[in-house]
Amino acid sequence: MIADLGFFALVIAFGVSIYAAVAAWYGNRVDEPRWVESGRNAVILVFPLVALSAGTIIMSLLNNDFSIEYVWRVSSIDMPTYLKVTSLWGGQAGSLLFWNLLLALFAAVVMMRKWRVDREFMPYVIIVISMTQVFFLGISAFIENPFTRMTVIPPDGNGLNPLLRHPGMIIHPPMLYLGFVGFVIPYSFAMAALLTNKLDDRWIRTTRRWTLVAWLFLSLGLILGGRWAYDVLGWGGYWAWDPVENASLMPWLAGTAFLHSVMIQEKRNMFKMWNMFLIVMTYCLVILGTFVVRSGVISSVHSFAQSAIGPFFFAFIVIMFLFSAYWMTKRREDLATENQINSFLSREAAFLYNNFLIMAILAVVFLFTYYPIFSELFTGEKGFVGAPVYEQATAPLFAALLLLMGVAPLTMWYKTSAKRLEMSLLWPAVATTVIVGVIFALGIRYWAALLGMWIVIFSLILTLIEFWKGTRARMKRGENVLTAYGHLLSRNRRRYGGYWIHIGVLVMAFGIIGTEVFQQQTQLNLQNGESLTMGNYEMVFNGVERFPGPDDLLITEADVDVFYNGRFVKNLNPRTELYTRTGQPMTIPAARSTISEDFYVLLVNWEPTSSTEATFRVYVNPLINWVWAGGLIFVIGTLIAAWPDPRKEKVAEAKRERMALGVGD
């Protein structure tokens, strides 16, 4: 049987991973490079084995082999082919296997690309990656085994969870997982640096692109998740501070702090311990996130105890944390630095403020997310923190971070004179105040929104000025604006890509302020032909239809015409879908989007809908599309920053050699 082959491959991969770790360790210990090379080959071999295993699951899904429990659970005969393939990550067992596949892929790529350059790190990189791989393969092979058989073969499967049958949901989990898995690589290099006691910034430079790419995928996962929520979940928003969302936000936050603070180490050789700590924390949050996303641990301590994988994950995180902490303590003297921050107004101090704010947000999110567990442990009663509390607690911190985003790039390394800083801040501040004054004059009186907009516009102006100054400097050499700007970007991708990321975040923040503060909503029951009015919009209800959809779907679809200022603008079909087999309802909104706002209509199934009347929930979401546009800018910025540049790589290589010779930068 094909599934037996898959399981067999999985067990072999497990054994090979153990071998890789042991061989690398032994080879390093007896100083026998052949053993280390054998370990490397073993790491590379794991990928085809896991790929074979995942391939058999996909084959079984395509062949409707319901003798396999996982296939029965997530698939059904009449599901479209592409959904059958993507069902690989539609359930817990499958998604863990998918995690394994991605890790094996990344590990193989690292082994092939970085082998010669960072040879001395390699034994330890192999050990750390393999330890992680062994853990996840062990879980896949022996605890959450996707190849488990059914005692009785059912004629048809359950079908994929309806919520997951959306293009956004098909691409969103792989993005998150790529992000999660990607962070394993910088972590393993950090550990290698610790264990070899080569604690300069080499491990950071080597893994810079890995970190950025992991961070990019995690960001993409978060943005796509938000879009998916907005398109499918039917509650008019994109972020609910759900534990599962938070579980992927937390590693992102830690990773963001890491990406910023490594720059201090690269430039000033400081904060080595802190950077180690950040990458260890990111790694632990990644493992925790993987676990939380797929299990109902937050809902109750009891489900944690019942969950087969819970204790294993917990033990693994503790072991890896203690392992990292032990080596950090052991190397604390080598991690110390004699360099110090000289001024509150310096780039390094600004990075530190950034880290402080991000850590504060992370602490709040962590505390609130795991509060139900703490509360149940200590009081026996299940506690809960809802979205409004998260917003209240994090909004001031995010606002400070946005302000810092604009001001920090103006500071210089070592020291910036307060006067200079004031001079460069004065006119942008005046301009921003004028703009916000205009917004005020237009009738917006809500102070939090005005303050938020002030910060966003101020930071945006400052960032654009930075671009302009850089471009102008190059234009002095006779280049035109576009060439000058292009050169600026390509010569310092990291900085100017980073500025684009900042602009993306600011545009998103503008959209978030708009939707959070100015969202309007109403709910009304309409008879056929009646209409409702909200703001400048009028919505006429033309009728409702019920018909069977593909699979076991029962669709109820309303037909409404939207008028803006009395002019017809769009016909919309909001609907509810009922998966009759599982009884799971879904509310699919319809929206009329413009750059300034969305008119977003939900067909609400509060009462059984008859053919002549229906209940609608209508939202006006101002500036919502700025959130998506900002997300796009953000991704483009990250791509600019992460794009390979062979010329610069050579320079970096030369620089590494210079540093090794003690010339310094």
Applying the rule CB under 8 A, the residues between 356 and 375 that interact with other proteins are 356, 359-360, 363-364, 367-368, 371-372, 374-375
Q: Which is nearer to other proteins, 158 or 615 (CB)?
A: 615
Alpha-carbon distance of 456 to 627, in angstroms, equals: 13
Please identify, among the stretches 9-17, 54-62, 467-475, 632-640, the one whose residues bind other proteins according to the rule CB under 8 A.
467-475
From 82, 142, 326, 344, residue interacting with other proteins (rule: CB under 8 A): 344
As measured in angstroms, the least distance from the Cβ of 420 to other proteins is: 6
Q: What is the DSSP string of 552-619?
A: TEEEEEEEEEEEETTEEEEEE--EEEEETTTTEEEEE-EEEE-SSEEEEEEEE-SS---SSEEEEEEE
Alpha-carbon distance of 584 to 449, in angstroms, equals: 38
From 36, 43, 352, 513, residue interacting with other proteins (rule: CB under 8 A): 352
As measured in angstroms, the least distance from the Cβ of 360 to other proteins is: 5
Q: Are the C-beta atoms of residues 143 and 308 closer than 8 Å to each other?
A: yes
Residues 172 to 231 in contact with other proteins, rule: CB under 8 A: 200
As measured in angstroms, the least distance from the Cβ of 150 to other proteins is: 28
CA of 104: how far to CAs of 11, 51, 587, in Å?
Answer: 14, 9, 38
As measured in angstroms, the least distance from the Cβ of 586 to other proteins is: 7
Other Cβ atoms within 10 Å of 362 Cβ, number: 22
Is residue 381 involved in binding other proteins (CB under 8 A)?
Answer: yes
Tally DSSP H helices, then E strands, for the chain: 23, 10
Q: DSSP secondary-structure letter at 532?
A: E
Alpha-carbon distance of 305 to 307, in angstroms, equals: 6
From 58, 59, 85, 385, residue interacting with other proteins (rule: CB under 8 A): 385
- Indicate the burial class of 392 (C-beta count within 10 angstroms; 0-12, 13-18, 19 or more): exposed
Q: Which is nearer to other proteins, 492 or 593 (CB)?
A: 492
Instruction: Reduce the DSSP state of residue 37 to 3 states and report it.
Output: helix
As measured in angstroms, the least distance from the Cβ of 389 to other proteins is: 6
Is residue 492 involved in binding other proteins (CB under 8 A)?
Answer: yes
Amino acid at position 522, single letter: T
Is residue 520 involved in binding other proteins (CB under 8 A)?
Answer: no
Residues 560 to 619 in contact with other proteins, rule: CB under 8 A: 576, 585-587, 605-606, 615, 617
> CA torsion, points 233, 234, 238, 239, in degrees to nearest 10?
-70
Q: Are the C-beta atoms of residues 527 and 612 closer than 8 Å to each other?
A: yes
Q: From residue 301 to residue 340, what is the string marking binding to other proteins with x (rule CB under 8 A)? A: ------------------------------------xxxx
Q: Which is nearer to other proteins, 60 or 265 (CB)?
A: 265
Q: Which is nearer to other proteins, 37 or 200 (CB)?
A: 200
Q: Are the C-beta atoms of residues 9 and 137 closer than 8 Å to each other?
A: no
Is residue 531 involved in binding other proteins (CB under 8 A)?
Answer: no
Alpha-carbon distance of 460 to 406, in angstroms, equals: 7
Please identify, among the stretches 131-139, 174-182, 504-512, 517-525, the one whose residues bind other proteins according to the rule CB under 8 A.
517-525
As measured in angstroms, the least distance from the Cβ of 204 to other proteins is: 15
Q: Which is nearer to other proteins, 235 or 446 (CB)?
A: 235
Q: What is the DSSP string of 203-227?
A: HHHHHHHHHHHHHHHHHHHHHHHHH
Q: Which is nearer to other proteins, 183 or 203 (CB)?
A: 203
Q: From residue 496 to residue 515, what is the string marking binding to other proteins with x (rule CB under 8 A)? A: --------------------
Instruction: Reduce the DSSP state of residue 620 to 3 states and report it.
Output: strand
The encoded tokens of residue 148 equal: 């488990």
From 378, 566, 646, 647, residue interacting with other proteins (rule: CB under 8 A): 378
Q: Are the C-beta atoms of residues 280 and 321 closer than 8 Å to each other?
A: yes
From 30, 379, 482, 647, residue interacting with other proteins (rule: CB under 8 A): 379
From 41, 67, 158, 343, residue interacting with other proteins (rule: CB under 8 A): 343
Please identify, among the stretches 122-130, 431-439, 464-472, 497-505, the one whose residues bind other proteins according to the rule CB under 8 A.
464-472
As measured in angstroms, the least distance from the Cβ of 522 to other proteins is: 5
Q: Which is nearer to other proteins, 54 or 361 (CB)?
A: 361
Binding residues for other proteins, total number by CB under 8 A: 82
From 117, 319, 448, 651, residue interacting with other proteins (rule: CB under 8 A): 651
Please identify, among the stretches 5-13, 85-93, 308-316, 381-389, the one whose residues bind other proteins according to the rule CB under 8 A.
381-389
Is residue 555 involved in binding other proteins (CB under 8 A)?
Answer: no
Residues 78 to 107 in contact with other proteins, rule: CB under 8 A: none
Q: From residue 427 to residue 456, what is the string marking binding to other proteins with x (rule CB under 8 A)? A: ------------------------------
The encoded tokens of residue 227 equal: 């879009």
Is residue 417 involved in binding other proteins (CB under 8 A)?
Answer: yes
Residues 630 to 649 in contact with other proteins, rule: CB under 8 A: 648
Going by C-beta distance under 8 Å and a sequence separation of 6 or more, which residues neighbour residue 495? none
Beta bridge partners of 547: 555
Q: Which is nearer to other proteins, 151 or 379 (CB)?
A: 379
Beta bridge partners of 598: 593, 621
Helical packing angle, 481-491 and 493-518, nearest 10°: 100
Residues 118 to 177 in contact with other proteins, rule: CB under 8 A: none
Q: Put residue 601 in one of left, alpha, beta given phi > 0 → left and psi -120 to 50 → alpha.
A: beta
Residues 243 to 272 in contact with other proteins, rule: CB under 8 A: 243, 268-269
Please identify, among the stretches 6-14, 90-98, 407-415, 545-553, the one whose residues bind other proteins according to the rule CB under 8 A.
407-415
CA of 460: how far to CAs of 347, 465, 595, in Å?
Answer: 19, 9, 19
From 15, 167, 168, 296, residue interacting with other proteins (rule: CB under 8 A): 296
Alpha helices for 63-201 (secondary structure H): 69-74, 81-86, 92-113, 122-138, 167-182, 184-196
Q: Are the C-beta atoms of residues 63 and 16 closer than 8 Å to each other?
A: no
Q: Are the C-beta atoms of residues 448 and 509 closer than 8 Å to each other?
A: no
Q: Which is nearer to other proteins, 1 or 481 (CB)?
A: 481
As measured in angstroms, the least distance from the Cβ of 480 to other proteins is: 17
Going by C-beta distance under 8 Å and a sequence separation of 6 or more, which residues neighbour residue 78? 550, 551
